[in-house]
Chains A and B, each alone.
Chain A
Amino acid sequence: MADASLKPHWFHILLALADGDRHGLAIARDVQTLSDGALRLWPATLYGSLDELRARGWIEELADPPADESERRRYYRLTRRGRAVLTEEAERLGRLVRRARARMRTGDAR
């Protein structure tokens, strides 16, 4: 389970939760904004991912007593572990971007 990299949509979901708790629809909208409209999460992917991330303990569901099960909106929050994973992935990507820039610069020079 120790994937070297995080699946892109997982990263985006974690990122969407980084500045506050959100429900599914809000996460989907936020991800679209974050990715400049490039990443659209479709329902099964989004909620499947949310379950999976929750199972891994990276996010948690807010204890919100449901008024009506069908109307209930589940809010999600980043856990400490989730935040750590997100930070690590962001740093990895950051390093990768720096290396890419460096390499492309030397490539330009040639």
Chain B
Amino acid sequence: MSRAYRALLALAPPRLRARHGAAMEELFADRLAAARARGRAAVLAAWVRAATDLVHARAASWRAPRVPLTVPVDERTTIMAGSDVRYAWRALLRQRGATALVVLMLALGIAANVAVFAIVNGLFLRPFPFPQPDRLVYINTAAPKWNLDVVGINYPDFDRWRRDQKLFDAITTYQGANFNLADAAGAVRVGGLLITCDFTKVFRIEPILGRTFTADEDKPKGPPVVVISAALWRERFGADPNVVGRTLRVDGTTRTIIGVMPPEASFPDDVKLWVPMAGDPAQPYQSYSGDGIGRLKPGVTAEQADADLKRAHQPIWDASDKDHVVTPFVKPLHETFVRDYRGAARTVTAAVAVLLLIACANVAAVMLARALARRREMGIRLALGSSRLRLLRQLLIENIMLAVAGGAIGLAAGRWALGAVIRLLPDQLPRWAAFHVDLRVIAFSFLVVVATVILFGWAPALHAVGGDLRSAVNASTNGTTGAPRGRRTLWFLVAGEFALAAALLVCGTLLIKAFDRVRHVDPGFRADHVLTFVVPLSEGTRPKPEQWMTFWDDLLARAKALPGVDAAGVVTCPPFGCHWGNFYVIDNALPRPDGKDPVVLTRLASPGYFEAMGIRLKSGRFFQEPDGRSKDSRVVIVNETFVRTFWGEGADGVGRRIRYRDAKAPWITVVGVVRDVKHYGLEQPMRPGLYFPVAVDPRPTLTVAIHSAQDPTSLMPAIREMVRGMDPEVPLFQVRTMEEAIRRSMALRAAFSWMLAVFAGLAFVLAVGGAYGVATYLVTQRTREIGIRVALGARTADIFRSVVAGGAGVVLAGVAGGLAASIFVARFLGDALFGVSTHDPGVLSFVTLILLGTALLANGFPARRAARLDPMRSLRTE
């Protein structure tokens, strides 16, 4: 019995147990004896009562402040951090408002950092999902003399490299392609790769079922085999374990399924099929259209591999390319697949770091104000025998608790924000990149929290316990502006916040202005009421170009007959779509100073295309029937840049001639000059471009453009019905309006600009909030002084001015510093500014006005309150 109670005593506060344990047992024994006399129920009640008594005492010991004087010296030295945590908890709860504010500000800063870091992590830090990804490199060819960074890989060249290279485990070449899959359920279009058999050795991925193709299957006229993705396996075959050996109709050819690849093999895009490239090294004049990936041998660098490939290429130069026009190169994989995001990611990362810095400065200011107000308490505790170290530890623990709370909320909010950002950029981010809150993100958040504690913890802690605390105790009240050093730090923090916010606001506003400028760039076509979609024909069912042309003529005739359609045309590459470059001999061309021959964007279009897209004619005429229908109808339409580049500013192109480089190629006459279409994006420069009539060289896959006075998407059901009526095996995809195409082409810039603007806005709110908080605090601290001044005859206006002047001066200094810095910092935005000057006067004055205006308000409210103080009341506030 007494043993049982002794065990229960573990619940009691340790000090009580140490002092009175034996006596407590004795008393309980007494109570128990009395209870036994009254029966079993009473005994049970006594035990319950004794237990609650102990728990209650324990709880009370947390609530009640210790009276330090009664703590013996030996016990004081052994007080554990547990009591610090409880004390900190109480201190934080006592000021719920300030605590909530601090946690909220930290959570905001940390959330933004977590979200952005998760994106940066997914794009740059997380390796590609293959074993030893650092050994993977990108291979392609460049043609510096033709002004081309990337030409593409020609299969015979690749075959030579594959045989002669020495520093790679394996290399592979592939071409992204879309395939028509047709079965009883209907026709669909899926993405896939034509790839050489080496790819499993390069990526080191194994199929989850079956096998991948062999070198014998990767030959011209090899057996028709195909490897499918796990997704296709599930969608189309219901994850049938016996799928290997079944067949699939791919582009009109029946192929045997030999394997299923795991989901992570989907590289570089959404790949559903792997089809043997079946290249023929002996066939001459193959196109330069492949991409390459290689796996380096251990310890080999990309530069060494680059040299190795150039060495392997030497025989080709010697045999057929004495001028070294086409040069192979090797680059780390990441550089190729994420370069578009690198600049944006760096800027956004810097912006969120600044945001966190501002949040920290703000938190530091709030904590410092609190700490200054607590100097008296600290002084008393020091006098009662606490050490400065102990007090510092106390404050540190408060800071850690705040940072942990802010970090936890921030992590959750950051996950949410990450989802929102990814939804904002659906097809701008590469497929293989995964954005998760993984271990690395959590570790990063932890580091941010630690950095936060250090950044906002130093000022309050030093000011609270540093210096002469005895005078803090002696100060009869806390209504005087003691600690001038603390006040200076407060103002320093506010000025710093305003400087950072100003710099961020300038960058954000500049980007918004640049975004607006890009949005208003003339795309060179009419974006509204135009619908485009891609129709691919299977070469299996229609092997001859004449059959394709018949199909297109039929499709356009039917489309124009649909009610509501005013114009319809086909083109090989619509704006923001593909690029097909070519070189031409230009009759009577100006000499080129750099000796480089510019590549010309070459498109094939039907006569109705220009009308459907609203492309404007500058001179001459559009195509008309029967352009391109006969061999001797040789006409071309060129763009303004083409005329300017080859024949000079102001020249009229109509009537001039061009031809292919082939010596026997006939001359082709320019019949029309059209305005530039911003083919590569609104903010990209246009290259020389031209259009041939599509009838000259019909293609199996074309983009159809339709113009309608009504909402063009409403025509979609009729169009689908029409195409199905022509051939049920032909799918129709990438249906979008040109307005949507423009929006998509700008999605990355939009996301980038708005993210920065949002961060700038948050920074602004934090800075103004900080200024307001500090001004309010300082006015409260000056209550007594203001009271005396009013009593001595100071007018309301004098008080108001003195309060506002103090705050406004600091803000002015901060803003001035921030603007100066921003002119320097904005330069790093570079191309993203799209020609907007880094010291754009409109932007700079807007930011200055908005910051100074709100800072004046932030100081004005506390100042007004101070000016209206009743001197008698303010002197009595203590």
Taking beta carbons and an 8 Å cutoff, which residues of A are in contact with B? 23-25, 28-29, 40-48, 50-52, 54-55, 70-74
Show 24 A/B contacts (Cβ-Cβ < 8 Å), sorted by A. Answer: A23-B23, A24-B23, A24-B27, A25-B27, A25-B30, A29-B30, A42-B27, A42-B49, A43-B53, A44-B12, A44-B54, A44-B57, A45-B53, A45-B57, A47-B19, A48-B16, A50-B20, A51-B15, A51-B19, A52-B64, A54-B70, A71-B22, A72-B22, A73-B23
Q: Bound complex: CA of A47 vs CA of B16, how far in Å?
A: 7
Dominant SS among interface residues on chain B: helix
Cβ of B50 within 8 Å of any chain A Cβ, yes or no, is yes
Centre residue among B23, B30, B54, B57 by max chain A CB count within 10 A = B23
Cβ of B765 within 8 Å of any chain A Cβ, yes or no, is no
Q: Is the CB of B20 within 8 A of A47?
A: yes
Contacts of B69 in A (CB 8 A): 55
Q: Bound complex: CA of A45 vs CA of B24, how far in Å?
A: 10
Whole-angstrom distance from the CB of B662 to the nearest CB of chain A? 103
Q: Bound complex: CA of A51 vs CA of B66, how far in Å?
A: 12
B 60-76 binary contact with A (CB < 8 Å = 1; else 0): 11001001011000000
Contacts A41-B27, A43-B28, A48-B60 known; 16 new A-B pairs at CB < 8 A: A24-B23, A25-B26, A25-B30, A42-B31, A42-B50, A43-B50, A44-B12, A44-B56, A45-B57, A46-B24, A47-B24, A51-B15, A55-B67, A55-B69, A71-B22, A72-B22
Q: Bound complex: CA of A71 vs CA of B25, how far in Å?
A: 11
Across the interface, name the chain A residue whose C-beta is closest to B65.
Answer: A1
Q: Bound complex: CA of A71 vs CA of B23, how far in Å?
A: 8
Q: Bound complex: CA of A25 vs CA of B32, how far in Å?
A: 13
Query: Which chain B residues numbered 552 to 581 have a C-beta less than 8 Å away from chain A?
Result: none
Contacts of A48 in B (CB 8 A): 13, 16, 57, 60-61
Across the interface, name the chain A residue whose C-beta is closest to B61.
Answer: A48
Dominant SS among interface residues on chain A: helix
Contacts of B13 in A (CB 8 A): 44, 48
Closest 9 CB pairs of A and B: A42-B53, A44-B57, A43-B24, A47-B20, A55-B70, A43-B27, A44-B53, A24-B23, A44-B54
Whole-angstrom distance from the CB of B342 to the nearest CB of chain A? 64
Q: Is the CB of A28 within 8 A of B30?
A: yes
Q: Bound complex: CA of A50 vs CA of B16, how far in Å?
A: 10
Q: Is the CB of B31 within 8 A of A44?
A: no
The residue from B12, B23, B27, B60 contacting A74, defined by CB atoms under 8 A apart: B23
Q: Bound complex: CA of A54 vs CA of B69, how far in Å?
A: 12
Across the interface, name the chain B residue whose C-beta is closest to A50.
Answer: B20
The residue from B20, B58, B64 contacting A24, defined by CB atoms under 8 A apart: B20
Q: Bound complex: CA of A50 vs CA of B70, how far in Å?
A: 13
Across the interface, name the chain B residue whose C-beta is closest to A73.
Answer: B23
Across the interface, name the chain B residue whose C-beta is closest to A23.
Answer: B23
Query: Which chain B residues numbered 17 to 41 have a C-beta less than 8 Å away from chain A?
Result: 19-20, 22-28, 30-31
Across the interface, name the chain B residue whose C-beta is closest to A69.
Answer: B22
Q: Bound complex: CA of A70 vs CA of B21, how far in Å?
A: 9
Q: Is the CB of B23 within 8 A of A47?
A: yes
Contacts of B15 in A (CB 8 A): 51
Q: Bound complex: CA of A24 vs CA of B24, how far in Å?
A: 9
Q: Bound complex: CA of A44 vs CA of B60, how far in Å?
A: 11
Q: Is the CB of A51 within 8 A of B31?
A: no
Q: Is the CB of B16 within 8 A of A44?
A: yes
The residue from A41, A50, A51, A70 contacting B22, defined by CB atoms under 8 A apart: A70
Contacts of A23 in B (CB 8 A): 23
Contacts of B70 in A (CB 8 A): 51, 54-55
Contacts of A41 in B (CB 8 A): 27
Q: Bound complex: CA of A41 vs CA of B49, how far in Å?
A: 10
Across the interface, name the chain B residue whose C-beta is closest to A55.
Answer: B70
Whole-angstrom distance from the CB of B851 to the nearest CB of chain A? 49
Q: Bound complex: CA of A42 vs CA of B49, how far in Å?
A: 8
Across the interface, name the chain A residue whose C-beta is closest to B5.
Answer: A43
Q: Bound complex: CA of A23 vs CA of B24, how far in Å?
A: 12
Contacts of B24 in A (CB 8 A): 43-44, 46-47
Contacts of B53 in A (CB 8 A): 42-45
Contacts of A42 in B (CB 8 A): 27-28, 31, 49-50, 53
Q: Is the CB of A46 within 8 A of B27?
A: yes
B 69-108 binary contact with A (CB < 8 Å = 1; else 0): 1100000000000000000000000000000000000000
Whether A51 contacts B49 in the complex (CB less than 8 A), given A44-B56, A70-B22, A73-B23, comes out as: no
Q: Bound complex: CA of A41 vs CA of B24, how far in Å?
A: 11
Q: Bound complex: CA of A54 vs CA of B20, how far in Å?
A: 14
Q: Bound complex: CA of A74 vs CA of B16, how far in Å?
A: 14
B 311-331 binary contact with A (CB < 8 Å = 1; else 0): 000000000000000000000
Across the interface, name the chain B residue whose C-beta is closest to A44.
Answer: B57
Across the interface, name the chain A residue whose C-beta is closest to B49.
Answer: A42
Contacts of B28 in A (CB 8 A): 42-43
Contacts of A40 in B (CB 8 A): 31, 49
Q: Bound complex: CA of A54 vs CA of B71, how far in Å?
A: 12
Q: Bound complex: CA of A64 vs CA of B838, how far in Å?
A: 85
Across the interface, name the chain A residue whose C-beta is closest to B52.
Answer: A42
Across the interface, name the chain B residue whose C-beta is closest to A48.
Answer: B57
Contacts of B12 in A (CB 8 A): 44
Across the interface, name the chain B residue whose C-beta is closest to A47.
Answer: B20
Whole-angstrom distance from the CB of B616 to the nearest CB of chain A? 88
